């Protein structure tokens, strides 16, 4: 098989940049970029997927190239799809256009769409995989995670005081977080395709669970609102209004909820904003992949803990998190510290004793 050329590496970097074009929805489809190179290494076409129902990146690039696609090399961030959905299979489109070689960054983890590389090879097209794969995967992290694990990626968000309280002793919790932190929360909500809380949060707090923007924070498609729990809820709760779709999952098991959301509703990124009991159930099950917390510069001394019982009796068994990022959100008395953390690997998971 031919060596990957410098022009192909440069083209893949361009394809990754195309895939990450501003304004492209993060879900439900992956963001993909494609660059077509003539035999002499010049670019004859490029394209990217603009969202569900639109032409795929390869098809858009082929349309630009026209007859110049014959004998060309297609450099694409994700393995060309091998199935017919709203659009036809890209593997067959590349074959029909007479493309000679296809260079792929990320193999497709979606079992419904994968297999394009094998189809191309069977048709006599030379295929190379793995070029800048890590960079390509970072364009679609939640989508990739969901298809690899059979469940959505879970971000747990909460606000807390310096002493770990999410509400005062009398139950009041508005507002622990600052206006700047709440605005930032809406930005993060907009990155997910699912908002999830428990029935108790809906019964007590009556949240609407929508993304609310402003002139500088445009709102795209509202996430699916999911209420998890077995109890019935009044129909007049705000989560059941017409601002966004809502699903009531009548289960208390986090794993069942997540696998249902993936398999039956094509969900890839859950933004968990439930109370301490629901958060603890996801943490105990090992089903929190990212933690985002806004720490307010205040002390309560008593009140509701930010998380419920984790079944931990000794410091040696503490659930440890690794800090992935720290940002001051807002300024002056409205400043909060946003921490982004991920569950730490145990020593055995790191391959050490």
pLDDT digits (tens, 9 = 90+) for 262-271: 999 999 999 9
To the question of domain 6-140 being in CATH 3.40.50.300, the answer is no
| 34 annotated as belonging to a binding site for a ligand | no
- Assess whether 236 carries a catalytic annotation: no
Q: How confident is the model at residue 1 (pLDDT cuts 50, 70, 90)?
A: very low
Question: Measured between alpha carbons, how far is 57 from 16 in angstroms, rounded to an integer?
Answer: 11
Percentage of the chain lying above the pLDDT 90 cut: 80
Question: Measured between alpha carbons, how far is 165 from 304 in angstroms, rounded to an integer?
Answer: 6
| 143 annotated as belonging to a binding site for a ligand | no
pLDDT tens, residue by residue, 25-61 = 888 999 999 999 999 999 999 999 998 889 999 999 9
Instruction: Return the bridge partners of 291, or none.
Output: 156, 341
| 281 annotated as belonging to a binding site for a ligand | yes
Question: Measured between alpha carbons, how far is 202 from 219 in angstroms, rounded to an integer?
Answer: 23
Quickly name the fold that domain 150-343 has: Dihydrofolate Reductase, subunit A (3.40.430)
Residues carrying CATH 3.40.140.10, the chain: 6-140
Q: State pTM to two decimals.
A: 0.90
**Residue 349 clears pLDDT 80, i.e. is over it:** no
The catalytically annotated residue of 58, 60, 135, 137 is 58
Helix boundaries (H) for the chain: 6-19, 57-65, 90-97, 116-122, 133-137, 141-149, 179-189, 199-205, 254-265, 276-284
């Amino acid at each position: 098989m031919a060596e990957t050329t410098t022009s192909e590496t440069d083209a893949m970097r361009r394809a990754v940049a195309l895939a990450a074009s501003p304004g492209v929805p993060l879900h439900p489809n992956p963001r993909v970029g494609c660059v077509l190179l003539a035999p002499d290494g010049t670019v004859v076409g490029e394209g990217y997927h603009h969202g569900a129902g639109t032409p795929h990146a390869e098809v858009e690039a082929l349309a630009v190239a026209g007859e110049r696609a014959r004998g060309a090399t297609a450099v694409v961030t994700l393995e060309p799809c091998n199935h017919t959905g709203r659009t036809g299979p890209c593997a067959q489109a590349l074959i029909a256009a007479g493309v000679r070689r296809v260079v792929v960054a990320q193999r497709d983890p979606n079992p419904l769409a994968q297999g394009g590389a094998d189809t191309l090879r069977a048709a006599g097209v030379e295929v190379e995989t793995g070029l800048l794969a890590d960079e390509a995967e970072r364009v679609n992290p939640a989508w990739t995670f969901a298809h690899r694990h059979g469940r959505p990626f879970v971000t747990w968000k909460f606000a807390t005081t310096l002493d770990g309280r999410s509400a005062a002793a009398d139950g009041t919790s508005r507002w622990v977080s600052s206006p700047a932190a709440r605005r930032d929360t809406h930005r993060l909500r907009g990155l997910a395709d699912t908002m999830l809380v428990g029935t108790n949060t809906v019964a007590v707090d009556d949240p609407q669970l929508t993304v609310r923007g402003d002139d500088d924070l445009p709102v795209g498609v509202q996430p699916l609102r999911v209420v998890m729990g077995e109890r019935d809820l009044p129909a007049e709760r705000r989560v059941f209004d017409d601002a966004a779709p809502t699903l009531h999952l009548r289960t208390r098991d986090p794993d069942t909820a997540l696998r249902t959301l993936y398999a039956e509703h094509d969900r890839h990124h859950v933004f968990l904003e439930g109370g301490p009991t629901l958060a603890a159930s996801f943490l105990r099950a090992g089903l929190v992949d990212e933690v985002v917390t806004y720490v307010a510069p205040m002390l309560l001394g008593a009140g509701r803990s930010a998380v419920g019982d984790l079944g931990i009796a000794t410091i040696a068994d503490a659930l440890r998190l690794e800090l992935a990022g720290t940002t001051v959100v807002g300024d002056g008395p409205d400043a909060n510290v946003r921490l982004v953390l991920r569950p730490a690997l145990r020593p055995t998971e790191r391959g050490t004793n």
